[in-house]
Amino acid sequence: MTDEEWTLMYKVNFASIRQFVLSNNGNEQQAEDIYHEAFMAAWRNVQLGKYEFRGEQSLNSYIVTIGKNKWIDVLRSARNKKTLPIAMDIESEESDDLLSDEERDIELVKDQFNNLGENCKELLVAFYYRKETMREISAKKGWTEATTRNNKYRCLQKLRELINRNIP
Amino acid sequence: MKNNFIISEEEWEEIENFLKGDLPQETIDIMKKRLKDEPAFSEKVAHVRLLMTGIREVALEADLKKIRLPHGENVVHRIPNKKQYYFRWMAAAAIIAVVSAIAYFNVFTNSEHRLFSKYYFPDSGLVSSMGVSDNYDFDVAMINYKSGKYDQSIVEMKKLLLFNPNNDTLNYFIGNSFLALDKVDSAISYLKVVAVNNQSAFAKDANWYLGLAYLKLKQKEKAALFISRSDNEKKDELLKRISK
């Protein structure tokens, strides 16, 4: 699935999570936050090969399950692990908020990406996210393809330097 | 994160292309072997993948923040206040009546399933063969397809696909067979291969059926996207109804 397709399916499962959160002491904002977290967790798990994509129907169920589990975690934490007021028959998908090393590394990449200059951010997003070709980016920027290629590599090196400086 | 190794520009691009699957199978096999045999190379690949994923994730999140999630429907809470029971029952009855009326209206006008049923007609199939040496086998598969024996045609075409994995004709008719059998996810995976192949004579039709498949999954935005890329004569009419 392309990132464009992920974006298009963003609205699809929100209603289920919203119903669940609002029915269980949550508000609209919490429903949105939990849904966003669940959606991104599903996206990341697919990218890292932790969830094998078996079609969109299965993926929809997976996102909803993660979202419900995350909300249960919020309730548990808020109630200091007291018994929950409702019966929640959730499938046993992981809801772990404990980040793996790989996930922590991605968080570091994301943090440091935001510290790059605007030109670098724009170039890397165009290439990696919008899947624009070197030729398309060069035409937009008025660069030769060789320059675009060099600039992209320099931006990546800059990002790696920033990461190095901030490795905990 | 280990980040102290040097990756040249060429090596970086080679790893990127490997991760995107944009390399000849022979090169992919060599890279896979290196992944097994060379721990240092394996670390570099993992590093490039982390950076690519992080960059895409930042951009995806930024795009998602621009999307307004649908709020609005009332939510029925599980533990209502006792004093409000009577009122809630009345309200629930009223809501059910209204929702039923709306559902009735939708079912008979623009619900996704209704639209799908109205606009979906299986591709009628090919008369001639696809011009490769497996003509006879393909003709048999096509006869089964045209006779509505979709299960059979899928089995036969998949055997041919083993020798021509990117063949647009096979992918197109396997996708169509799955769609006819209501196996929508499988249909999507085959139709997509053709829909993105601008060189294929089936690309426009694949977009049409891909759009219909998403309509069946009630994903109207995706349905509209692919339908708009088709050239079906009913394209504009359907897009108009989807957007209602």
Read off the pTM: 0.59
* A156/A116 Cα distance (integer angstroms): 10
Closest CA to A105 of A38, A160, A50, A40: A160
What is the distance between the alpha carbons of residues B91 and B96, in angstroms, rounded to a whole number? 8
The answer to whether B191 touches B171, Cβ cutoff 8 Å, is yes
B221 touches chain A (CB under 8 A): yes
- Verify whether the Cβ–Cβ distance B67 to A156 is below 8 Å: no
What per-residue confidence (pLDDT) applies to A96?
A: 47
Judge whether B50 is closer than 8 Å to chain A, CB to CB.
Answer: yes
Taking only the tens place, the pLDDT of each residue in A106-153 is 999 999 999 999 999 999 999 999 989 999 999 999 999 999 999 999
A34 has pLDDT over 90: yes
A156 to chain B, any CB pair closer than 8 A? The answer is yes
- Amino acid found at B133: S
Instruction: Dihedral sign for Cα B206, B212, B218, B221, please.
Output: positive
B6 close contact with A: CB closer than 8 A:
no
Chain B residues in contact with A164 (beta carbon < 8 A) = 3-4
**B1 → chain A, closest CA residue:** A105
Q: What is the mean pLDDT of residues A89-111?
A: 71
Question: B53 CB near a chain A CB, below 8 Å?
Answer: yes
**pLDDT tens digits in sequence order for chain B, 244 residues long:** 777 789 999 999 999 999 988 888 888 899 999 999 999 999 999 999 999 999 999 999 999 988 888 886 555 554 445 555 566 667 767 766 666 665 555 554 568 888 888 899 888 888 755 544 457 788 888 888 888 888 888 888 888 887 788 888 999 999 999 999 888 888 998 899 899 888 888 999 999 999 999 998 888 888 999 999 999 989 999 999 988 8
What does the alpha-carbon distance between residue B16 and residue B228 come to, in Å, rounded to a whole number?
32
**Interface touch B79/A86, C-beta < 8 Å:** yes
CB burial of A85-104 (b: ≥16 within 10 Å; e: otherwise) equals eeeeeeeebebeeeeeebbe
Cβ A128–B189 below 8 Å, yes or no? no
CA atoms of B216 and B114, how far apart (whole Å): 9
Q: Which residue, A71, A95, A160, is CA-closest to B3?
A: A160
- For helices A134-141 and A145-166, the axis angle rounded to 10 degrees is 100
Out of B3, B58, B184, name the one closest to residue A160 (CB).
Answer: B3
User: Mind telling me how many Å the CA of B106 is from chain A's nearest CA?
Assistant: 18
Q: Does A102 touch chain B (CB under 8 A)?
A: yes
Interface ipTM: 0.87
A35 in contact with B at a CB cutoff of 8 Å? Answer: yes
pLDDT at B159: 82
Q: pLDDT tens digits for B51-88?
A: 999 999 999 999 998 888 888 655 555 444 555 556 66
**Cβ–Cβ pairs < 8 A, chains A and B:** 126
Shortest CA gap B7–chain A (Å): 9
